[in-house]
Chains A and B, each alone.
Chain A
């Protein structure tokens, strides 16, 4: 995989974003805009300098890994992000305890740990420990089940 074009794309992205923010900032009162304006100008200069520096140096291309492998890795990352958002929904719908337990079991299994006994024990231990710390010791207010409260009504 060639590294330089990706760096160029990122620098271009930062450059466009900075110019866009500079336009937004220009509408603020003088006192509110001067500090971010100064920093944004600095970002524009730095990203341009990085691009020029790399093109002058004729950056050596870097072979890192296969495209398929990289795609697979990124898919795993986005899957984890999806799991995280899923956990948010879980605790809102099912409440903290049940939501956490289900999330732990499901995510451990989907991340490749298939031994049922170990999976259940580790999930129960983690959820139990979190319950003791957050609810019994710290007396925190964690979300109650939205689903159960609807059913109760």
Chain B
């Protein structure tokens, strides 16, 4: 760890009024971008990198870090109020956040989200600052067998989210996996389920799918009621202040969410989306009342929100220490690091210590600022839930369609989003939960790729999944998760 002087030097740079103003501006911009469905950090960061060229490396990295963190914060607000995750990292926040908004507790849900994100971020920052050298050594030991087991663990946890029919939930998960198979096969380059079209060779675009399944399917449900507001009561009864206190009543949920987020962030290749969904599913599994999830309970917001912000900083650990991006956004962040002439790894930690600790200090300051701005602004933003549906729906459609189009300037992406919305609507109508579908879609490519890579490394031996220490532990954890509940049920019956 560096001496006190390094931190003082970092503080001197970050606390200059021009830099504080810049941090404030980027925070607000990030919250707004995050709130807009479909844009998110993955699209915002490449747009901002050229604007950082005139800045010192430390400040430039702070700008990118803030944008990453604040968009994830902002994404939760739209997930809660509009059932539209502003970023894919807030996908699971919809599951309980939106039902809370429907009950008129939108303000409270945002308060919960803000405080959980703040605490998750603090844990992530602590991990980034204090544990990065140690944890990166463990992450280096991860090979395809371990990645496969982590993906399977996520897929097994799908069953935990099953509301209603288990068969329907499993079918929904399997359909999500199959949807992710559309396009070129990652191992052989063979086009799958493309039906001879050029467009489908690149696969189903994630943003089109997620905007369709969540935003547009919700629009269709709102349209059915024709009149009224998102908040069924027509008023905002929940106060943000109440929400800010709520996470402290669920300390175990907070701890689980933060650790899951940090852990998943450290594993290269996984990202805040996987952390968000996994933390939610683990919370369902750990809960004494799993049936209450999805109806609008605080734990369903605390777990995913703590984990995604812990994961944001977790993904920066392998990015900065070993130069392997912890996720998609971290890969762009890594590009930003290199554009500014810095090399991740030992060189960054020894020769460019000043830049690194300016970044760390800046992230701490900005994290507090994001929390304050987010909390103050959400009070006003949450009022969208009491706007009449017939005024609110057209801008949501316009926003969703424009955001989808902006991804690749391809009008077919918009058509895919609309069709996904219709499919999502019918799936929800006939009791096929969208949660397993989404989990299946996210985890399937990781599972398939890692499975074949692990087999290639092990000369086709399946024992690699059991005999490697970390993979073996994960394997037995999966067996325990599957086998333990029925066994416990029988024991309790006796």
> Measuring CB to CB, which residues of chain A are less than 8 angstroms from any residue of chain B?
6-7, 10, 14, 21, 24-25, 28-29, 31-32, 35-36, 39-40, 42-43, 46-47, 49-50, 53, 73, 76-77, 80-81, 83-85, 87-88, 91-92, 96, 100, 103-104, 107-108, 111-113, 118, 122-123, 126-127, 130, 133-134, 137-143
Closest 5 CB pairs of A and B: A50-B167, A32-B190, A111-B390, A126-B395, A32-B185
Determine whether the beta carbon of A50 is less than 8 Å from that of B394: no
Contact A28 B36 (CB under 8 A): no
B480 close to A (CB within 8 Å): no
| Bound CA span A47–B452, Å | 28
A129 → chain B, closest Cβ, in Å?
A: 8
Cross-chain contact A80 with B167 (CB below 8 angstroms): no
Q: Could you tell me if B171 and A14 are in contact, using CB atoms closer than 8 angstroms?
A: yes
If A32-B190, A88-B401 are given as contacts, then 7 extra A-B residue pairs at C-beta distance below 8 Å, sorted by A number, are A10-B430, A43-B174, A87-B398, A96-B402, A126-B394, A130-B398, A134-B406
Smallest CB gap from A78: residue in B: B422
CA gap between A15 and B174 in the complex, in Å: 13
CA distance A50 to B171 in the complex (A): 10
Bound-complex Cα distance A96 to B411 (A)? 13
Closest chain B residue to A107, Cβ basis: B394
Query: Are B401 and A87 in touch, CB under 8 angstroms?
Result: yes
Is B466 an interface position by the 8 A CB rule? no
CA distance A85 to B216 in the complex (A): 13
Residue of A nearest to B225 (CB): A73
Chain A residues contacting B141 (CB-CB under 8 Å) are none
Chain A residues within 8 Å of B216, by CB:
84
Residues of A within 8 A of B185 (CB): 28, 31-32
What residues of B have a CB within 8 angstroms of the CB of A39 in the complex?
A: 174, 177-178, 181
Contact with A along B380-405 (1 / 0, CB 8 A): 00000000111101110111011001
Residues of A within 8 A of B474 (CB): none
Contact B227 A112 (CB under 8 A): yes
By a CB distance below 8 angstroms, the chain A residues around B409 are 141
Could you tell me if B167 and A104 are in contact, using CB atoms closer than 8 angstroms?
Answer: no
When C-beta atoms are compared, the residue in chain A nearest to B221 turns out to be A77
Select from chain B the residue with minimum beta-carbon distance to A114.
B390
| 5 A–B contacts, CB within 8 A, in A order | A29-B188, A36-B178, A104-B394, A108-B390, A130-B402
Most buried by A among B32, B190, B223: B223
Establish whether residues B452 and A85, one from each chain, have CB atoms under 8 Å apart when the complex forms. no
Interface size class on chain B is 35 or more
The majority secondary structure among interface residues of chain B is helix
A143 to chain B minimum Cβ distance, whole angstroms, is: 8
Q: Give the Cβ gap from B381 to chain A, nearest Cβ, in Å.
A: 13
Q: Which of B175, B219, B394, B451 contacts A35 (CB 8 A)?
A: B451
In angstroms, Cα B451 to Cα A137, docked, is 43
Indicate if B220 sits at the interface (CB-CB under 8 A): yes
B192 located at the interface, meaning its Cβ lies under 8 Å from any Cβ of chain A in the complex: yes
Q: Which chain B residues in 159-173 approach chain A with CB under 8 Å?
A: 165, 167-168, 170-171
A36 with B397, Cβ < 8 A, contacts A46-B174, A111-B226 known: no
Complexed CA–CA distance, A6 and B171 (Å): 16
Provide the residues of chain B in CB contact with A143, threshold 8 Å: 405
Known: A50-B168, A81-B422, A100-B398. A113 touches B192 (CB 8 A): no
Contacts of B167 in A (CB 8 A): 46-47, 49-50, 53
Query: Is B29 part of the binding interface, using a Cβ–Cβ cutoff of 8 Å?
Result: yes
Q: How far is the CA of A123 from the CA of B398 in the complex (A)?
A: 11
With A and B bound together, what is the CA distance between A24 and B402 in angstroms? 35
**Which of A35, A118, A127, A141 is packed against the most chain B CB atoms within 10 Å?**
A35
Q: Is the CB of A138 within 8 A of B223?
A: no
Q: Which residues of B contact A (CB under 8 A)?
A: 29, 32-33, 36, 39, 47, 165, 167-168, 170-171, 174-175, 177-178, 181, 185, 187-188, 190, 192-193, 216, 219-220, 223-224, 226-227, 388-391, 393-395, 397-399, 401-402, 405-406, 409, 411, 414-415, 418, 421-422, 425, 430, 444, 448, 451-452
Contact B414 A113 (CB under 8 A): no
User: CB distance B192 to A92 under 8 Å?
Assistant: no
**Interchain CB contact under 8 A, B36 and A112:** no
Residues in B neighbouring A112, C-beta threshold 8 A: 226-227, 390
Known pairs A46-B167, A96-B402; A84 contacts B397 (CB<8 A): yes
Q: Please, which residues of chain A bring their CB within 8 A of the CB of B220?
A: 77, 80-81
Measured CB to CB, the closest approach of chain A to B272, in angstroms, equals: 21
Question: What are the residues of chain B within 8 A of A100 when measuring CB–CB?
Answer: 398, 402
What separation, in Å, do the CA atoms of A128 and B399 have in the docked complex? 12
**Assembly CA distance A142 to B406 (angstroms):** 7
B-side contacts of A35, CB under 8 Å: 181, 444, 448, 451
A47/B402 contact (C-beta < 8 A), A28-B192, A111-B223 known: no
Q: How far is the CB of A121 from chain B (nearest CB, A)?
A: 10
* B47 / chain A contacts, CB cutoff of 8 Å: 138-139
Enumerate chain B residues within 8 angstroms of A87, measured Cβ to Cβ: 397-398, 401
Assess the A36–B181 pair: CB atoms within 8 A.
yes
Instruction: Please indicate the chain A residues that have their CB under 8 angstroms from the CB of B193 in the complex.
Output: 21, 24, 36
- Do B402 and A134 touch across chains, with their CB atoms under 8 A apart? yes
Q: Is A92 touching B390 in the complex (CB atoms < 8 A)?
A: no
- Complex Cα spacing A82 to B487, Å: 51
CA distance A93 to B401 in the complex (A): 15
B399 surroundings in chain A (CB, below 8 A): 130
CA distance A127 to B171 in the complex (A): 40
- Cross-interface CB contact of A76 among B170, B192, B226, cutoff 8 Å: B226
B402 A50 Cβ-Cβ under 8 A: no
With A46-B167, A80-B220 given, is the CB distance from A40 to B394 under 8 Å? no
- List residues of chain B with CB within 8 A of the CB of A123: 394
Please tell me if the beta carbons of A122 and B226 are within 8 angstroms of each other in the complex. Answer: no
B402 lies within 8 A of A142 (CB): yes
Query: Shortest Cβ distance from A36 into chain B, in angstroms?
Result: 5
Q: Which residues of A contact B430 (CB under 8 A)?
A: 6-7, 10
